Structure 1
Amino acid sequence: MDLHFCFQMDNWTKKPSKVPFKSLMMALFIMTSFTSYLSAQEREISIAEALELSYNNNEQIKRYIERVKQKTYEDKAAMGNFLPSVNLLGGYTYLSENIEVNSSQMSSSLDELGGKYSAAFVEAYGEQIGLSGVSAESAFSTMVTVLGQFPDYTNMVIDNQEYVTAALTATQPLFTGGKIIAGKKYAKAELQSANIELKQVKDEIANELIERYLNVVLLQQVIKVRQQVYEGMVKHQEQAERAIQLEILPKHVLLRAQVAVADAEKDLNNDLNKIQLAEMALRTTMNLPDSIPFKVMDSIAYKDIYLDFDTLLNTAYTQQPVLELIDQKEVMAKQAHAIEKSKFMPNIAAFGSYNMFREDLPIVPPKFMVGVQAQINIFNGFKDINKLKASKHLQKEVENAKEYATQQINLLVKSNYTNALNQKKQYNSHITTVDLAKENLRINKRRFEEGLGKSIDVIDASLLYEKSKVEQLVALDGYYKAIANLYTAIGEPEKIIQIISK
């Protein structure tokens, strides 16, 4: 009976079997899914090329590049505070009436002025005009009394209803209590912060790109496994159908095989849908138009990466963007305190002006004026002193933020380091499992073909192999993602690119 069964199995396994319509449709769908991009002459994009596309096309990165340019010009603008300010002032004035000098308000002054002139004249020329006996005091009092009896003076009219003014002025700060220097350092720190924020965004985009790229690679490999298992299940179902037709196996065996094919088909379809979403997410990160077809690497081999925790932690302390940003915040807080402190010191500046069209003005100013001016605030409602105290607390706040961030970076590096080691152990533990599951599947297939095994053994062996192989792929994906997160935590996310690309 065993020999007869083996002979029959060998015969019907060599005959071409009729493939069900559903299987043909499924194969067509799979072929279309895997060859649709090939027909559009797609090109393979390495993970390094994908990262370069993300850097060049990502809108978030473009936004922070513009921010860096903005802060660059603000830093240059802060340098202008050290240079003199030169202004050209000009204007046109029209008066409805001529300007009049109100003589009644200065009549006593004019009388006194006339008395002084009389006294001086008598003192100088009294003998020559026969007034040698008159004293200067007497001449002064007499003239003031006489002038006081006259009627009020008539207002003096300035005959000019319109005039043009123009002046060139220059101001050069000499001492501002350190405000200008502090402002320049503050602007420089803002520029440095903008560059660090750009690096931080690039690190985040790189980490996102690596994760999404690895997702697509993982799903491609998983789909290959699903496809392999599905085709094996279909073949096993066909073998079971032939064996039932030859009355070698009972009919209920076919039902279990059909269920296995349906499950394999469902898992395959599910992953085909997942890879479409994964590719869509990857395309979004690269900001690549839908009209440009692409594919990623077929697979990524395992590489044993040496990781030294102390070196990683020290690198994080020097290159982590978060800590670098806090360092710049410290600089800005210090300079903000210096600016508030400068408000308690005088502002000294030199100034000069050149007046044009001065002959046309009612009061003729000099051509040139130069001088030095100092200003200091005496009281403004305690506003400055309260702002000074607030700036001190801002410095302490930044110090506390740096201490907290350092602790969090330590925790982040340690957790990612531990996760990377765990993922490495998981992947290595699956190597033997996959090899054994593969050999177990081969033996059960052979036993079934020789009539020594059961259909359910082949199905279980296929599912076991599929499960162990997918778990191995997931562990490999988790291993590289854990290392990518670790390198991102220390501020070097691109380091994983070099490893994967090799």
Structure 2
Amino acid sequence: METSSKIFMTLVSLVLFTLFAKGQEREINISDALELSYNNNEKIKRYSERVQQKIYENKAAKGNFLPSINLLGGFTYLSENMEVNTSQLKSSLDDLGGRYGAAFVDAYGDQIGLDGITSETAYSTIVNSLGQLPSYNVIIDNQQIPTAAITATQPIFMGGKIIASNKYAKAELQSANIELRQIKDGIANELIERYLDVMLLNQVIKTRQQAYDGMVKHKEQAARAIQLEILPKHVLLRAKVAVANAEKDLNNDQNKMQLAEMALRSTMNLPDSIQFRVMDSITYQNIYLDFDMLLNTAYAQQPILELIDQKEIMAKQAHKIEKSKFMPNIAAFGTYTMFRDQLPIIPPKFIVGVQAQLNIFNGFKDLNKLKVSKHLQNEVKNAKKYATQQIHLLVKSNYTNALNQQKLYNSHIVTVDLAKENLRINTRRFEEGLGKSIDVIDASLLYEKSKVDQLVALDGYYRAIANLYTTIGEPEKIIPIIGK
């Protein structure tokens, strides 16, 4: 059902792409961008295929509980008839003839005139006589031998190997699903960071554009003031330098925007023919963060820890599989033979039975593999302890960073307001002929810098929270916050 839903969403996305492919610009929000990344990313597709592999491997493992039924058939042609080499059997055949002769004399000797001969005498006489005769091979007159049989085998007891193999396959399937979620979390985090880059540069460019427009306006005012001989000519030069610097900063950020959009396009795996524009803009929201709750969530949902849990199950089942080699394997079997009359030796129609097999010695291979599996279990336990420590450290560092970025952003609020008021006052003073051109330029640069610093701090705040949510295994939790 989930696969069908994904296919449907992909088809919908392709239809939407077709509608906007002819040079039209499509507006997307962060939810749209994330959905496109999930549907189009090749790495996600690759790991989805791995999940499907493990699904069928898990089903295959369950088949070990069922009987195995095989149809065997063949045809053999002999260049000449087979012969039974009686020279290797002659002594046994002579002995058999002597025994039959002695028994015949005992039973019917008086009726055929041999009542005076004992069984021992009859036996030795017959054996000695037969020993004087040459051996003759028995020819089996059949050069074409068809064979056909149906065989069935039902495992009864395998030392726990089948159950352990099924649990191992199930753990592999769970691991594949967790790896897929881990890949999707990584793609989501990458998408969020690149989307934030575009959002940040969008607003930085707006700020740069405002600063540039303000500098151009101030240059025009300075030029008129010079024409009216209110200001000296060198003031215009400084205004032109300020305009050139503002234009350089604007062009630089516009180039960065192109690179940021290229990176975002790559994550969404969109072709160049599809134009898009980011809809969202960065606005501050106060997000409450509870460290203990975040840490407990990380312990419960972090894919790395979940993967180690599955590796622990797999190591445990691998140990049971190795232990099963020290126990007997018991299976029931049955065979139905066809074309019996055409075989040199005619077997019965049906053969059924129970067979047990126990390895006694194989060069200590099984014993050493059992020790390997035991140490593997210990390795996984140590890996889990280390991973838990690292998750705690990662959650703590991202949590601290998020709080620091929040404080940094809040500290910029007053600075931006003061810089904006300072620019307004100096611009007004210059327009009234009371202020200097350099004061307007400095005030404009100060406001531009403080505003950009505030935007960078806000971007850092959301980026830290995004990393924090990714660390606890919930990267999509920030989507509705950014998308507001």
1-side partners of 2:209 and 2:176: how far apart?
A: 49
Q: Is contact 2:29–2:280 with CA below 8 Å preserved after alignment?
A: no
Residue 434 of structure 2 aligns to a residue whose secondary structure is coil
1:85 matched to which residue of 2?
68
Please list the CA deviations of residues 421-449 of structure 1 after superposition, one character each: whole Å capped at 9, or x if unmatched: 00110111111111110010000000001
Change (3 A) 1:38 1:126: closer
Residue 374 of structure 1 aligns to a residue whose secondary structure is strand
Alignment of 1:225-304 (within 5 A): 225-304=207-286
2-side partners of 1:189 and 1:383: how far apart?
A: 26
**2:116 aligned to 126, 133, 140, which one?**
133
Change (3 A) 1:322 1:224: same
Please list the CA deviations of residues 458-501 of structure 1 after superposition, one character each: whole Å capped at 9, or x if unmatched: 00000000000001111111111111100000000000012222
Residue 338 of structure 1 aligns to a residue whose secondary structure is helix
Alignment of 1:477-488 (within 5 A): 477-488=459-470
2:167 matched to which residue of 1?
185
2-side partners of 1:332 and 1:461: how far apart?
A: 66
2-side partners of 1:270 and 1:252: how far apart?
A: 27
Change (3 A) 1:259 1:442: same
Question: Would you say 1:110 and 2:93 are equivalent positions?
Answer: yes
Aligned residue identity for 1:386: N
Q: Is contact 1:329–1:398 with CA below 8 Å preserved after alignment?
A: yes
Normalised by the size of structure 1, how large is the TM-score? Answer: 0.91
Aligned residue identity for 1:453: G
Question: Would you say 1:441 and 2:423 are equivalent positions?
Answer: yes
Residue 330 of structure 2 aligns to a residue whose secondary structure is strand
Please list the CA deviations of residues 142-185 of structure 1 after superposition, one character each: whole Å capped at 9, or x if unmatched: 211111122x1211111111211111111111111111111111
**1:64 aligned to 47, 55, 64, which one?**
47
Please report how far the alpha carbon of residue 298 of structure 1 lies from its aligned counterpart in structure 2 after TM superposition: 4.3
2-side partners of 1:462 and 1:148: how far apart?
A: 129
1-side partners of 2:144 and 2:276: how far apart?
A: 76
Aligned residue identity for 1:76: K
- Decide which moves more: 123-132 or 58-67: 123-132
Aligned residue identity for 1:293: Q
Q: Is contact 2:21–2:273 with CA below 8 Å preserved after alignment?
A: no
2-side partners of 1:168 and 1:301: how far apart?
A: 75
Normalised by the size of structure 2, how large is the TM-score? Answer: 0.94
Residue 111 of structure 2 aligns to a residue whose secondary structure is coil
2-side partners of 1:294 and 1:250: how far apart?
A: 48
1:474 matched to which residue of 2?
456
- Decide which moves more: 140-149 or 461-470: 140-149
2-side partners of 1:319 and 1:360: how far apart?
A: 67
Q: Number of matched residues?
A: 465
Please list the CA deviations of residues 373-414 of structure 1 after superposition, one character each: whole Å capped at 9, or x if unmatched: 111111111111111111111000000000000000000000
Question: Would you say 1:385 and 2:367 are equivalent positions?
Answer: yes
1-side partners of 2:21 and 2:56: how far apart?
A: 48
Aligned residue identity for 1:311: M
Change (3 A) 1:373 1:167: same
1:17 matched to which residue of 2?
none
1:19 matched to which residue of 2?
none
1-side partners of 2:313 and 2:480: how far apart?
A: 35
Q: Which runs of 5+ in 2 are unaligned?
A: 1-19
Alignment of 1:11-410 (within 5 A): 40-150=23-133, 152-410=134-392
Q: Percent identical across equivalent pairs?
A: 80
Please report how far the alpha carbon of residue 38 of structure 1 lies from its aligned counterpart in structure 2 after TM superposition: 13
- Decide which moves more: 105-114 or 190-199: 105-114
2-side partners of 1:293 and 1:301: how far apart?
A: 25
1-side partners of 2:426 and 2:335: how far apart?
A: 103
- Decide which moves more: 416-425 or 153-162: 153-162
Aligned residue identity for 1:104: S
Residue 324 of structure 1 aligns to a residue whose secondary structure is helix
2:398 matched to which residue of 1?
416
Aligned residue identity for 2:101: S
1-side partners of 2:56 and 2:322: how far apart?
A: 24
Please report how far the alpha carbon of residue 39 of structure 1 lies from its aligned counterpart in structure 2 after TM superposition: 10
Q: Which runs of 5+ in 1 are unaligned?
A: 1-36
1:9 matched to which residue of 2?
none
Please list the CA deviations of residues 246-280 of structure 1 after superposition, one character each: whole Å capped at 9, or x if unmatched: 21111111111111111100000001011111111
Residue 135 of structure 2 aligns to a residue whose secondary structure is coil
Change (3 A) 1:229 1:411: same
Please list the CA deviations of residues 325-372 of structure 1 after superposition, one character each: whole Å capped at 9, or x if unmatched: 000000000011111111111111111111111111111111111111
Change (3 A) 1:51 1:282: same
Aligned residue identity for 1:59: E
Please report how far the alpha carbon of residue 216 of structure 1 lies from its aligned counterpart in structure 2 after TM superposition: 0.4
Q: Is contact 2:332–2:353 with CA below 8 Å preserved after alignment?
A: yes
Q: Is contact 1:220–1:298 with CA below 8 Å preserved after alignment?
A: no
Please list the CA deviations of residues 272-309 of structure 1 after superposition, one character each: whole Å capped at 9, or x if unmatched: 01111111111111111211111112413211000000
Aligned residue identity for 1:215: D
2-side partners of 1:39 and 1:98: how far apart?
A: 82
2-side partners of 1:344 and 1:185: how far apart?
A: 20
2:4 matched to which residue of 1?
none
- Decide which moves more: 316-325 or 80-89: 80-89
Higher Rg: 1
Residue 364 of structure 1 aligns to a residue whose secondary structure is coil
2-side partners of 1:127 and 1:476: how far apart?
A: 125
Please report how far the alpha carbon of residue 40 of structure 1 lies from its aligned counterpart in structure 2 after TM superposition: 3.8
1-side partners of 2:102 and 2:69: how far apart?
A: 50
Please report how far the alpha carbon of residue 131 of structure 1 lies from its aligned counterpart in structure 2 after TM superposition: 2.3
2-side partners of 1:55 and 1:64: how far apart?
A: 12
CA RMSD of superposed structures (Å)? 1.3
Q: Is contact 2:280–2:483 with CA below 8 Å preserved after alignment?
A: no
